[in-house]
């Protein structure tokens, strides 16, 4: 039995293995409503052996979407379509989570294959953005600083979205606190210049994230796992650091999080990152050891052997992958085959499982 294909349990959910699908935006929704593309895209990973499929960053409020084409979960119509997708995944033996997100100053942007770049004008379907402070992301419109009422609306938005996600049948709720989006913007001194209880010290900068984790945990109850995605470093002087991430990971666990999904970057454009296979794994290891909280590693992980090494080294409890699942939606079955792990295959695919 490999570690990668051993089960992992959080609260009432047991994942059949530890090779998971990272959330990946498809920029294919209409008014926040997932489309047929999303149903096929996500369900295929369940047939392909994923232990958990994390649906893309999904706006908890309309202005929280990264782009006008991002999914949302602020309406009952969106909830009901998500429920059909959850059913498709469950029917294929998989489990599925949703990443609850607010893009902050990086909202209202053009999707990757659009001819334009930067902020989508209001006249073309965009909207004004919000952030901790009036500090723009490079190339984007300046945001409006959230006041006390705006912060309360953000917290309420996450709580309401979590409630709809529970009603839709999701197995995991993940709070997106990474990649330069709103909760990360509060965490980083590079985007947070506030002088109130949400700025200055790390405890203050983490306050909004921890409030969100608590309300999501309250909605999730005792049964559903709650994950938090963090960018463990801003890759820039004066930014959020791995040591701070470990502390925030401890606080998040105290607030009700079951696992920290460890990524990096996003707060600044053009930073120097040494991309290499598994380049973020040390951050997951650091948070796991010093933060005393389970972690998932992600970042240029593209083989079963590599993922197995991440786990056997003690760096993480699970592995998220993204691009490799896009290249091969049956990455899970292939990795199990390569490692010699005996895992359930869909009966329709049994011929590919035969080794002779």
Q: Is 150 helix (H, G, I), strand (E, B) or coil?
A: helix
Cβ atoms of 220 and 226 closer than 8 Å? yes
Give the residue from 234, 285, 223, 233 showing the smallest Cα distance to 260.
Answer: 285
Q: What are the Cα distances from residue 310, in Å, to 23, 48, 203, 274?
A: 20, 21, 31, 18
Catalytic residue status for 198? no
The three-state (H, E, C) secondary structure of 185-203, written as one string:
HHHCCCCCCCCCCCCCCHH
Kindly name the residue from 27, 140, 181, 198 that is annotated as catalytic. 181
The Cα–Cα gap between 266 and 244 comes to 16
The Cα–Cα gap between 194 and 298 comes to 31
Name residues whose C-beta falls within 8 Å of residue 147's C-beta, 6 or more positions apart in sequence: none
- The total of other beta-carbon atoms located within 10 Å of residue 7's CB is 11
The secondary structure of 263-325 as a DSSP string is E---SSSS------TTTTHHHHHHHHHHS-S-EEE-SS--SHHHHHHHHHTTS-SEEEESHHH
Catalytic residues: 181
């Amino acid at each position: 039995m490999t570690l990668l294909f051993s089960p992992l349990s959080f609260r009432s959910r047991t994942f059949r293995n530890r090779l998971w699908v990272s959330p990946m935006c498809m920029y294919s929704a209409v008014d926040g409503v997932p489309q047929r593309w999303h149903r096929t895209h996500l369900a295929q990973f369940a047939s392909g052996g994923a232990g958990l499929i994390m649906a893309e960053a999904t706006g908890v409020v309309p202005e929280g979407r990264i782009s006008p084409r991002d999914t949302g979960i602020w309406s009952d119509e969106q909830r009901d379509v998500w429920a059909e997708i959850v059913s498709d995944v469950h029917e294929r033996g998989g489990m599925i989570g949703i990443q609850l997100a607010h893009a902050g100053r990086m909202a209202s942007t053009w999707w990757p294959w659009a001819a334009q770049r930067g902020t989508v004008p209001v006249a073309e379907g965009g909207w004004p953005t919000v952030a901790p402070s009036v500090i723009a992301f490079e190339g984007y419109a300046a945001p409006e600083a959230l006041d006390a009422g705006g912060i309360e609306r953000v917290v309420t938005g996450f709580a309401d979205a979590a409630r709809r996600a529970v009603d839709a049948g999701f197995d995991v709720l993940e709070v997106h606190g990474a990649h330069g989006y709103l909760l990360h913007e509060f965490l980083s001194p590079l985007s947070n210049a506030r002088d109130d209880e949400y700025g200055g010290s790390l405890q203050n900068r983490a306050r909004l994230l921890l409030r969100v984790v608590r309300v999501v945990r309250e909605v999730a109850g005792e049964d559903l796992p709650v994950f938090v995605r963090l960018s463990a470093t801003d890759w820039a002087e004066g930014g959020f650091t791995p040591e701070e991430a470990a502390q925030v990971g401890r606080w998040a666990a105290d607030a009700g999080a079951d696992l920290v999904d460890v990524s990096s970057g996003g707060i600044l454009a053009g930073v120097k990152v040494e991309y290499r296979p598994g380049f973020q794994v040390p951050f997951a290891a650091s948070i796991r050891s010093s933060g005393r909280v389970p972690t998932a590693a992600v970042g240029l992980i593209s083989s079963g052997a590599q993922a197995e090494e991440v786990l056997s080294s003690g760096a993480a409890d699970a592995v998220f992958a993204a691009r490799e699942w896009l290249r091969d939606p049956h990455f899970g079955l292939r990795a199990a085959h390569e490692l010699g792990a005996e895992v359930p295959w869909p009966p329709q695919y049994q011929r590919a499982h035969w080794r002779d």
